[in-house]
Amino acid sequence: MIVVENRLFVAEEYADQFVERFRDSMGKVESQPGFVKFELLTPANADTDSYISQTYWESMADFEAWTDTEAFEEAHSDHPPKEMFTAPHELEVHEVAFERTSE
């Protein structure tokens, strides 16, 4: 399994609008083959403007296939105002080495 993380730096005055943009995008990725789950992490304190969107995929091939779909294009077609972000986003992909869950 892989995790695709996109760290986005959001201006404080756009925080609520930013979260709603992701909430409104429901249905774009959930039906894609290999998709496991999506999480949007928001700052827990005022010391950062860093938000992280995480998608979990069964494989890198599944994620790459998603990026070649019309649903992907649609999900990324409504560009936000440039002022929403305080810095360029940072994309990272990680393999899940192992996981633990509560019993």
74 phi, psi to nearest 5 deg: -65, -40
Residue 45: what pLDDT? 85
Low-confidence stretches of the chain (pLDDT beneath 50): none
Q: Specify the residue for token string 């496991």.
A: 36
Residue 48: what pLDDT? 87
Q: Which domains does the chain have, with CATH numbers?
A: 2-95 (3.30.70.100)
pTM for the predicted model, two decimal places: 0.86
Residue 77: what pLDDT? 80
Distance of alpha carbon 7 from alpha carbon 51, whole angstroms: 6
